């Protein structure tokens, strides 16, 4: 079967038009370049998107996120099998496959190596809601304690279990995962997470390392701001900003 026929068959099965699938691929490529431009990844890391209506997802080839190209993306299923595209997927595909399997509500996954997130996890400090953007993490950001790469289905399932119903998680000495309703929000929230972790580290330093001195939002405050920040308007504005950043327009 030719790759062209495979793509058309997949579009029909998913219910997406060729134009919408092309837009999804563009968003995945942009999301990968965004997390690079924002300093969350360098040579390694990856962002993916579920193909709506299917148990498959669009995933980059084994290259730096900075090099993601809409025409060179792969389609994988939740069992890790490559369904479309040429080239090798990153071996940590299991992060994405098993989060999608466990969370039908998730339409986009970002795996990043954010420095501040790594630092926060390594000093054993849970993320606090210290500013507006951090309010999206009011439900908590769990820490996956096992170090090393996530290269098996079993480890992918463990990662998905740690994430649970939350938006984000840290991986000790490794980075962070974000699961969101779509790939645009996954990239944006990954940027919010690093911003929140970096701000918390600065606040801790200013407070002489005293975590009890940090003035976090109350649950009621966090809920109020989360509704405001998470609305479509602010998120669309954030996407436009990060796209401009990734395209060198800023």
Rounded CA-CA distance 182/106 in Å is: 7
Q: Domain range spanning residue 195?
A: 3-246
What was the pLDDT predicted at 250? Answer: 87
Task: Compute CA distances 101 → 22, 77, 97, 153, 156, whole Å.
Answer: 23, 9, 6, 11, 10
Structure tokens that stand for 142 in this block: 């769990």
Q: Are 185 and 123 in contact (CB under 8 A)?
A: no
Closest CA to 192 of 248, 241, 249, 123: 241
Phi, psi at 79, each rounded to 5°: -100, 10
Rounded CA-CA distance 202/51 in Å is: 39
What was the pLDDT predicted at 95? Answer: 99
Which CATH number do you get for residue 168? 3.40.225.10
What was the pLDDT predicted at 14? Answer: 59
* 5 alpha-carbon distance from chain centroid: 30
Number of domains into which the chain is organized: 1
> Which residue do the tokens 């795996």 mark?
111
Strands 74-77 and 175-180, by their bridges, are unpaired
> Which residue do the tokens 């039908």 mark?
104
Rounded CA-CA distance 70/132 in Å is: 33
What was the pLDDT predicted at 7? Answer: 38
Q: Are 155 and 94 in contact (CB under 8 A)?
A: yes
Q: What is the pLDDT along the chain (250 residues), one digit of tens a residue?
A: 223 323 334 444 556 788 999 999 999 999 999 999 999 999 999 999 999 999 999 999 999 999 999 999 999 999 999 999 999 999 999 999 999 999 999 999 999 999 999 999 999 999 999 999 999 999 999 999 999 999 999 999 999 999 999 999 999 999 999 999 999 999 999 999 999 999 999 999 999 999 999 999 999 999 999 999 999 999 999 999 999 999 999 8
Q: Are 149 and 92 in contact (CB under 8 A)?
A: yes
pTM above 0.75, yes or no: yes
What was the pLDDT predicted at 16? Answer: 78
Structure tokens that stand for 96 in this block: 């994405």
């Amino acid at each position: 079967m030719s790759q062209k026929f495979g793509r058309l068959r997949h579009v029909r099965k998913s219910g997406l038009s060729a134009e919408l699938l092309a837009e999804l691929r563009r968003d995945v490529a942009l999301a990968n370049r965004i997390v690079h431009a924002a300093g969350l990844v360098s040579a390694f890391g990856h962002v993916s998107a579920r193909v709506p209506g299917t148990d498959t997802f669009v995933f980059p080839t084994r290259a730096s996120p900075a090099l993601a190209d809409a025409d060179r993306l792969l389609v994988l299923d939740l069992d890790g099998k490559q369904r479309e595209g040429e080239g090798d997927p990153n071996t940590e595909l299991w992060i994405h496959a098993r989060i999608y399997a466990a969370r039908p509500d998730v339409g986009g996954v970002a795996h990043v190596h954010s420095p501040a997130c790594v630092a926060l996890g390594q000093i054993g400090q849970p993320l606090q809601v210290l500013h507006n953007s951090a309010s999206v993490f009011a439900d908590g950001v769990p820490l996956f304690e096992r170090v090393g790469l996530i290269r098996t289905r079993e480890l992918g399932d463990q990662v998905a279990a740690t994430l649970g119903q939350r938006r984000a998680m840290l991986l000790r000495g490794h980075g962070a995962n974000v699961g969101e309703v779509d790939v645009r929000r996954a990239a944006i929230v990954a940027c919010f997470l690093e911003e929140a972790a970096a701000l918390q580290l600065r606040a801790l330093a200013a407070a002489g390392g005293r975590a009890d001195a940090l003035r976090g939002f109350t649950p009621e405050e966090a809920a109020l701001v989360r509704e405001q920040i998470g609305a479509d308007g602010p998120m669309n504005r954030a996407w436009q900003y990060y796209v401009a950043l990734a395209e060198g327009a800023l």
